[in-house]
Amino acid sequence: MEMSNQTTMTEFLLLGFSDVRELQILHFIMFLMTYLAALVGNGLIIMVVCLNHHLHTPMYLFLVNLSLLDIGCISVAIPKSMANSLQNTRLISYSGCVTQVFLYLAFAAAEVTLLTVMAYDRYIAICQPLHYERVMNRGACAHMATGSWIAGIVYSTLHTGSSFSSPFCQSNVINQFFCEIPLLLMLTCPDSIHSGALPLGLGGFLVLSCFVFIIASYVQILKTVLRIPSEQGRQKALSTCLPHLTVVSLFVCTGTFARLQPTSMSASHLPLVVGVLYAVVPPVMNPVIYSMRNKEIKAALKKLLVSKLFAKN
């Protein structure tokens, strides 16, 4: 469906997983199970930390915020795709697309910022343990967490406003199962396509700066850990960093793979696979990573489940 200008753009067509009705139902069921897994996993993390006073520390405060952001990210991308599969349609309204873009960018940018803050938390805890309680006090942690959310909202506002201020002349078909900025910019008029270059550049600078800071933090952490005399002490220090490092690696790998996707493959189903990798997999895997690699979380989860079981009996 070709579009001549922005005034006639009232809806977009998302890329469907299949035109076969049985496969559409299968897609709905698989996405529903994935979505519920993300909600349950992240919800348990939030509940365990909130109910266990021993976990009211900076690291777990940031973990609660990470779980909230993961729930937000997957809630933006999946439900509309599930509804379209049930209704056998690919349509999303213009306002719905704007909302998807704004919310997803806000949650994703806030998550990048929060992961950077979490790296700083681990750096202070391991490299400057005597100053940890003073630097990472409750007020400072609340400000850092709030700052991450504000940074995500501000960045999303600028990026979304700039992207949708350009007229769409190419088509209304988005080669993804949710509205995504790079693919939307490919639909803008040739004389206005460069208007999205500044927000993309700003986003690239933000992400690069955050991950340079994370890498620098872990270089200092590694230097400090190697100077710890006992092997048990080194393992204990590294064990507190491993879940965060794994989450960051998953975020970077899936995001990088998405950005390196060749445009020549845009007509195939590769964008769908890539979209699932970076929009669906991290929110599902992050609570698993933290619960499996963190003894305190596992102990708190076990205590919560046992208490609920005995209360029911």
Of the two residues 196 and 178, the one the predictor is more confident about is 178
Contacts of 282 (CB under 8 A, 6+ apart): 70, 73, 247, 250, 251, 254
Phi, psi of 145 (to 5 degrees): -65, -45
Distances from the Cα of 199 to the Cα of 157, 163, 203, 233, angstroms: 10, 8, 6, 44
Contacts of 1 (CB under 8 A, 6+ apart): 13, 171, 172, 173
Q: Report yes or no: 23 and 17 within 8 Å, Cβ to Cβ.
A: yes
Per-residue confidence at 264, pLDDT binned at 50, 70, 90?
very low
Q: Is 5 strand, coil or helix?
A: coil
Distances from the Cα of 288 to the Cα of 112, 232, 298, 299, angstroms: 19, 25, 10, 14
At 191 the pLDDT is 62
Q: Report yes or no: 38 and 26 within 8 Å, Cβ to Cβ.
A: no
| Beta-sheet strands, E only, within the chain | 11-14, 91-93, 173-174
Q: Is 2 strand, coil or helix?
A: coil
Per-residue confidence at 71, pLDDT binned at 50, 70, 90?
very high
91 has which bridge partners? 13
C-alpha 271/C-alpha 282 separation (Å) is 17
Q: Report yes or no: 261 and 16 within 8 Å, Cβ to Cβ.
A: no
Q: Which of 23-27, 51-55, 163-167, 178-182 has the lowest mean pLDDT?
A: 163-167
12 has which bridge partners? 92
Q: What is the mean pLDDT of the chain?
A: 84
Q: Is the pLDDT reported for residue 197 higher than 80? A: no
Q: Is the pLDDT reported for residue 177 higher than 60? A: yes
Tokens describing residue 26: 């299968």
C-alpha 38/C-alpha 110 separation (Å) is 18
Q: Domains along the chain?
A: 6-296 (1.20.1070.10)
C-alpha 145/C-alpha 150 separation (Å) is 9
C-alpha 69/C-alpha 146 separation (Å) is 12
Q: At what angle do helices 281-293 and 270-279 cross, to 10 degrees?
A: 40
Tokens describing residue 154: 């501000």
Of the two residues 179 and 253, the one the predictor is more confident about is 179
Sole residue written with tokens 């489940």: 305
Q: Model pTM?
A: 0.88
For the chain, the residue count is: 313
Measure CA 248 to chain center.
Answer: 10
Q: Is the pLDDT reported for residue 1 higher than 50? A: no
Q: At what angle do helices 270-279 and 58-87 cross, to 10 degrees?
A: 150
Per-residue confidence at 135, pLDDT binned at 50, 70, 90?
very high
Task: For residues 221-232, give the mean pLDDT.
Answer: 89
